[in-house]
Amino acid sequence: MGSYDFQKIEKKWQSYWKENRTFVAEKLSDKPKYYALDMFPYPSGKGLHVGHPLGYIATDIITRFKRLKGFNVLHPMGFDSFGLPAEQYAIRTGIHPAETTAKNISRYLEQMEALGFHYDPDAVLSTSDEDYYKWTQWIFLKLFKHWYNKAEEKAQPIEDLIAIFEKEGNANIVAATSQKEIFSADDWMGLDEKGHADILMNYRLAYNAYANVNWCPALGTVLANEEIKDGKSERGGHPVERKQMRQWMLRITAYADRLLYNLDNLDWSDSMKNMQSHWIGRSEGANITYDVDGVEDTITVFTTRPDTLYGNTFMVLAPEHDLVAKITTPEQQKEVEEYVTWAGSRSEKDRIADTTKTGVFTGGHAIHPLTGKKLPIWIADYVVITYGTGAIMAVPSGDQRDWDFAKKYDLEIVKVVEGGDDADAPYQPKDGIIINSEFLNGMVAKDAIGAMIDKLGEMGIGDKEVTYRQRDVIWSRQRYWGEPTPIYFKDGIAYPMDESELPLTLPEIDQYKPSESGEPPLSRAKNWKERPDGGLVDLNTMPGLAGSSWYFMRYPDAKNDEAFADRKIVDYWMPVDLYVGGTEHAVGHLMYSRFWTMFLHDMGEVSVEEPFTKLVNQGKIQGTSQLVLRKVEDGVQKFVSADMVSDAERADYAEIHVEVSMVQAQTLDLEEFKKDPMLEGKYEFITNAEGEFKTVPRAEKMSKSYYNTVDPVDICRDYGADTLRLYEMFLGPLEMAKPWNTDGITGVHTFLKRAFNLFINEQEEVIVTDEKATDEELKYLHQCIKKVEEDIERLAFNTCVPAFMVFAKEIGRLKCHKREILEPFLRVLSPFAPHFCEELWEKIGYKESILFSTYPTFEEKYLVESTINYPVQINGKVRAKIDAAADADKAAVEEIALGNETVQQWLEGKSPKKVIVVPGRIVNIVV
């Protein structure tokens, strides 16, 4: 046999698809569209490993399927090609990042082609292409030129805002803004250009401000919170510190409510929605203003539990709070200053590691707004300046942190919610009864919240308030390999560049690292940053998030140079019907993509507000590392087969990663291993009784440093792309994480060989006949079609594979080679094993690619059995089987069941209390 020559077949069809431009989508069409998208990769120098294509295979299958179903399909691929690794490589080697990136991209494309992915060649894009980032800059300018009207929940041109300022000042404007002072029209008219610019900056959606940033000295740049893991940079693992810097920021908080409420209508997993809503972190409560004893100033706090105000016994400010200096008494000054300095020097990491509450008394007191009691004001770093107002009313009887603090510093505790008799714990459930609280006594806490807010409102010292956890995002990076910011400064005023000046391209520079004086790399550019009018171009570039926040809207019309995309074309294709990618982008990329899409919607540039209707998170494929056990004795390395080492002895051995390709079935190929250049000096091997050397497997991240990466191209060489595609799907549900192992790959490969033999005999002849199919054969066919069609629709690709296998086995058993059966089978299988099916499709006599064929519909009539074999349960246990006609009604089935001899024996003459017949399923008799 061996006639299934997958290497030849796959090469042939890959070039056929390319030459015939089989996968170019119609930009506009009357046909329904289907847009499936993978999160585009960063083209790293390491290439793809078998974990990457999992999601790509899934989208490839569903789009091929949809195409057969008559949809106009878009399935593009691109590259998130701005980024740190290429830049760091450039710093080391002097090679331009564009060069490295281009090389990596072509390697990725080669690998992807080898897997049979059909990407639309007209839609391929890279975020670092000038004709792409032109539009990234264009959107940034739009953000700069707009403000967010909270009253209308919509972004509006900044000119509209100026018109209002000129007429009536800012008092009546409800906006997402960092502007705190109220001014009148006269005030506004009295300001100069710089004054206007400064105020407008507080309203712009892209704005420039001083911000406490995460500065990474090793990378010479600022990082977003999402780019930091455990106090270190996500890429590279360098330490990160806090620093005040002037930065571009995007006012994503303006969209917080829309980003939150729209989640309800998205077909995303619960955990994904959960992460997003938690990230936005909306909490409702009240702001309460306190007078400060002896000082002309007030403290405003945010609380979600105004009902516990009577339990408030002290105040806590963040150490960075503005008022700290004002209220600190001379006696306390030294201690407070020391604490502020100490707290400021603590890194993020220290604060996370250390949860003990520390603080110092300022000496000042606030006046309780209801009781008039003097409340001591403390500072403590468990109150953070960035959330709420940076100050809290401490209610130790209700809040764990306040409780701990009060206990530590011996502060008063007043119980305000009934119950909770544990003397060592705070207690304040929202359904508890309020006590010790004057007018609130006896109320349920959640009602008391409203009552208290009303009261505070009457007194003019408090109001309802909503606070968000989400922060505006810092949009400046002090890097080279990113989109330049199309803004220039003159006399301290930021001016947007004219759209005709876009793209603002990256200048050539001699070195890619920051300048000696700590300026961003772009400061090294000659004849670039200075403008004829004396302005200076901003030296920051945008973060990696920029290019990926809108790329899905570029694909449908990726070559357009008049607009980021033609309005009609984006509206036809958007939203993305299926977006597949990893969970790691839950709060980063996905949040900013939704934000930019909403913004462009407000601009009237696109119709949709939400870009991704359905989101699926593919599980990571982990590597399976192989470890050998080694002990060094008298300078000799002793390698011992793992099954010869008891658990107790295991600790004496070091575990050494070995290249996974040298291990088959947990057995190390010793001859190969001995060739390994890493194996130096004297060594010996201790094998088991069979003379084999066993390794220890361990599932961990697929990484070159663990010698556990598997190149998909290697698998394609050994088994073929079709086998790999089927196998990756067969491994388990798309969403599930799973370790890579090739143990089962022969199973799917055998299936393909078996299926091949249905068409071609050992003499390489086509043996397909035009005979009429029998009902039994048609039954297997239609069972397969039905199952696969339903499972593809619900993205259960894993269970499609067994359906194919059963078909091939049964049809093979029936020695059936009939066109009527095999031709539809090819169409059903083709999304999974496209090369295989194209080849046989051609062999049995079709000129056009199978992709221009149609998906066969299943015919119910072949699936209907004439009789149904019912299991009969008696008191829940299956005791007998009966046959009943498929169209028999419940009563008839019941009659047959009760008449059955075995059933009667089990009934022992007793009459049933109840008989339950589930049509087509089961009969249950209750005695």
Partner RNA sequence: GCCCGAGUGGUGGAAUUGGUAGACACGUUGGACUUAAAAUCCAAUGGCUAUUGCAGCCGUGCCGGUUCGAGUCCGGCCUCGGGUACCA
Within 736-755, which residues bind RNA (CB under 7 A)?
736-738, 743-744, 746-748, 750-751, 753-754
By CB under 7 A, name the one of 283, 436, 441, 687 that touches RNA. Answer: 283
Give least dist CB 812 to RNA, A.
7
Stretch that binds RNA, among 243-251, 382-390, 513-521, 608-616 (CB under 7 A): 382-390
Answer yes or no whether residue 388 interacts with RNA by CB under 7 A: yes
Q: State the chain's maximal CA–CA distance in angstroms.
A: 106
Between 33 and 357, CB nearer to RNA: 357
| 311 is a site residue for RNA (CB under 7 A) | no
The identity of residue 104, as a single letter, is N
Nearer to RNA, 86 or 586 (CB): 586
The reply to whether 351 sits near RNA by the rule CB under 7 A is yes
User: Could you give the CA distance from residue 118 to residue 731 in angstroms, rounded to a whole number?
Assistant: 22
Q: Left (φ > 0), alpha (ψ -120 to 50) or beta: where does 105 sit? A: alpha
With residues binned 3-state (H G I as helix, E B as strand, rest as coil), the percentages for the chain, rounded to 5, are: 40, 20, 40
> DSSP characters for 592-620?
HHHHHHHHHHHTTS-S-S-SBSBEEEPPP
| The only residue of 344, 442, 457, 802 in contact with RNA, by rule CB under 7 A | 802
Binding of RNA by 390 (CB under 7 A): yes
Candidates 180, 772, 813, 847; binder of RNA (CB under 7 A) is 813
Rounded Cα distance between 187 and 169, Å, is: 8
User: For tokens 């764990």, what's the residue?
Assistant: 400
Question: Is 275 a residue that touches RNA (CB under 7 A)?
Answer: yes
Residue 687 CB, nearest approach to RNA (Å): 18
Distance, CA of 310 to CA of 455 (rounded, Å) = 13
Using CA atoms, how far apart are residues 432 and 422, in angstroms rounded to an integer?
15
Q: Which stretch binds RNA (CB under 7 A): 297-305, 606-614, 683-691, 856-864?
A: 297-305
Per rule CB under 7 A, is residue 121 in the interface with RNA? no
Using CB under 7 A as the binding rule, the residues of this chain from 48 to 87 that contact RNA are none
Instruction: Rank residues 77 and 252 by Cβ distance to RNA and give the closer one.
Output: 252
762: contact with RNA by CB under 7 A: no
Q: Which of 354, 508, 519, 718 binds RNA (CB under 7 A)?
A: 354
- Window contacting RNA (CB under 7 A); options: 139-147, 182-190, 355-363, 775-783: 355-363
Residue type, 736: M
> Site map for RNA, 315-334, x if CB under 7 A?
---x----------------
Residue window 197-226: x/- pattern of binding to RNA, with contact defined by CB under 7 A: ----------------------------x-
The neighbour count for residue 173, using CB atoms within 10 Å, is 18
Q: Give the binding-site size for RNA (rule: CB under 7 A).
A: 88
Is 815 a binding residue for RNA by CB under 7 A? The answer is no
Closer to RNA by CB, 791 or 859: give it: 791
Q: Which long-range contacts (CB under 8 A, 24 or more apart) does 400-403 make?
A: 400/425, 400/426, 401/357, 402/316, 402/426
Residue with smaller CB distance to RNA, 235 or 809: 809
Using CB under 7 A, pick the residue from 74, 256, 392, 822 that binds RNA: 392
Sequence-distant (6+) residues with CB within 8 A of 329 are 362, 363, 364
* Residue 471, Cβ density class (10 Å: 0-12 exposed, 13-18 middle, ≥19 buried): middle
- 156 or 289: CB nearest RNA: 289
Q: Is 382 in the site for RNA (CB under 7 A)?
A: yes
* Closer residue to RNA in complex, CB, 496/733: 733
Q: Which of residues 538-597 bind RNA (CB under 7 A)?
A: 583-584, 586-587
* Per CB under 7 A, 357 contacts RNA: yes
CB of 2 to RNA, least distance (A): 7
Residues facing residue 635 across a β-bridge: none
Stretch that binds RNA, among 353-361, 550-558, 831-839, 848-856 (CB under 7 A): 353-361
Bridge partners of residue 697, in order along the sequence: 626
Closer residue to RNA (CB): 173 or 888 = 888
If one asks whether residue 495 binds RNA (CB under 7 A), the answer comes out as no
Q: How far is the CB of 789 from RNA (least distance, A)?
A: 10
Letters for 856-885 (x = contact with RNA by CB under 7 A, - = none) are -------------x-x-x-xxxxx-x----
- Using CB under 7 A as the binding rule, whether residue 696 contacts RNA is answered as no
Q: State yes or no: cis peptide before 575, omega within 30 of 0.
A: yes
Among 796, 844, 898, 907, binds RNA (CB under 7 A): 796
Contact of 850 with 862, CB cutoff 8 Å = no
Site stretch for RNA (CB under 7 A), options 70-78, 482-490, 768-776, 911-919: 911-919
Compute the chain's Rg from CA coordinates: 34
Q: How large is the angle between the packed helices 6-19 and 97-114, nearest 10 degrees?
A: 120
Identify the residue among 46, 278, 490, 704 touching RNA (CB under 7 A): 278
Burial call 518-528: b when 16+ CB within 10 Å, e when fewer: eebbbbbbeeb
Which span (16-24, 245-253, 278-286, 413-421) binds RNA, by CB under 7 A?
278-286
Q: Is 192 exposed, middle or buried (0-12, 13-18, 19+ CB in 10 A)?
A: exposed
Residue 176 is encoded by which pair of tokens?
């997402």
Which of 87, 465 has the CB closer to RNA? Answer: 465
Query: Residue 902 in contact with residue 916, Cβ under 8 Å?
Result: no
Element containing residue 408 per DSSP (H, E): helix 400-409
Of 270, 510, 516, 561, which one interacts with RNA (CB under 7 A)?
270
**Interface residue with RNA, options 461, 732, 820, 842 (CB under 7 A):** 732
Give the integer Cα–Cα distance in Å for 23 and 118: 6
Query: Cβ of 701: how many Cβ atoms within 10 Å?
Result: 13
